[in-house]
Amino acid sequence: MEVKFHDIGEGLNEGEIVHFFVQVGEKVTVDQPLVELQTDKMIAEIPSPIAGTVKAIHFETGESISVGDIILEIDDGREKTVSKEAKYEDKQVVPLQTEKKVPSENNYKRILAAPYTRKIARDQGVDIEKIRGTGPGGRITEDDVYQSIVVDRPLSTTEVVEESVMMDVPAATIREEQAADTIPFKGIRKQIAKNMSHSLQTIPHVTHFEEVDLTNLSKLRSELKETGDNISAVAFFLKALAIALKEYPLFNAQLDEENDVIRLIKNYHIGLATNTKNGLMVPVLSNVNKKSLREIHEEMKALTKKAQEGTLSMAEMQNGTFTISNVGPIGGIGATPIINHPQTGIMAFHKMKKVPVVMENDEIAIRSMMNLSFSFDHRVADGATAVAFTNRFVELIEEPKKLLLELV
């Protein structure tokens, strides 16, 4: 059985071999991970399609491969019908050292750790199976690996000497050497750079800023929480966006310049820009307009968790029609988000804070305010349309009970 690098869609034609879990001569079972690959968008494991013995490995760790390349071969033993005489002759030809059973250093054992965390452990020479995870469910985190290095690995004699020598080196020399350090620019980070550059070079971006009063929404969320329904504010944002996008379809569209048409998409699949240790990931929450607030909340949590753990499938990152970026928990009062080409809009939500606001009766009240940034494709829509779209979204959020009037 030839195990190949299959086409996984999204235009991903190449990948880099990060790690082999098996060696030649090692027995494997069905679905046992064989190799870990880094594509432009994700880190993925290729499992064994059959049970058998690894017969050959055709690439080395760190090599790049293309779709269709045979990574390794597995012998399932079903074609071994040779005679005893042939077996005896084979034994005379095979060099003695190949018959020695070398214990595999990569015996498969499922551990709770993301692929990127395991890679750090391998690079640092740390046995990840001996680390006690502090993450949810005992998951091993990146910090656990680094902490293990500090606690368990004393300085060698060479390292002690090097450290003492460094103390005598002028500070200017140290800074000069440190300036030469590099980090890899490939994989997900390189793909992000390509996408962002292509978007900015192709789409004339315009960003509209607005502020939203979340006081009523916060009150409604508190009331729901008392009844056992803890619904995040972003779930309300997504529902309001689906309604506003239906009324202003230019922002749920794609510009087809080749055919001179703007395609108004009738599905509302909203991407959730998520910050992860592997870079920016954008899982897609499908058919937001057809889901309840509770369904939106639960599915959004599940997708975000998968993104942070590096377990998203390609299907969960495809077909987005609009994107949001919730940077509020991190901080910041404004930004100019870059559109996820070929979409026509992206909205970013910034941190909420309580501030004194002059109300319509000229009284001053303390309100929970949030800024938002809406970037749109100026080839497809004008500023007036963008402002009207944003105003409709703000209306639904500031008076969240109006959402009830729009529910299907």
Site of tokens 């910090």: 143
Strand 52-57 and strand 64-66: the pairing is unpaired
Task: Reduce the secondary structure of the chain to three states and give it as a string.
Answer: CEEECCCCCCCCCEEEEEEECCCCCCEECCCCEEEEEECCCCEEEEECCCCEEEEEECCCCCCEEECCCEEEEEECCCCCCCCHHHHHHHHHHCCHHHHCCCCCCCCCCCCCECHHHHHHHHHCCCCHHHCCCCCHHHCECHHHHHHHHHHHCCCCHHHHHHHHHHHHCCHHHHHHHHCCCCCCCCHHHHHHHHHHHHHHHHCCEEEEEEEEECHHHHHHHHHHHHCCCCCCHHHHHHHHHHHHHHHCHHHCEEEECCCCEEEECCCCCEEEEEEECCEEECCEECCHHHCCHHHHHHHHHHHHHHHHHCCCCHHHHCCCCEEEEECCCCCCCCCCCCCCCCCCEEEEEEEEEEEEEECCCCCEEEEEEEEEEEEEECCCCCHHHHHHHHHHHHHHHHCHHHHHHHCC
Whether 269 is catalytic is no
- The one catalytic residue in 205, 208, 341, 378 is 378
Q: Which residues are catalytic?
A: 378
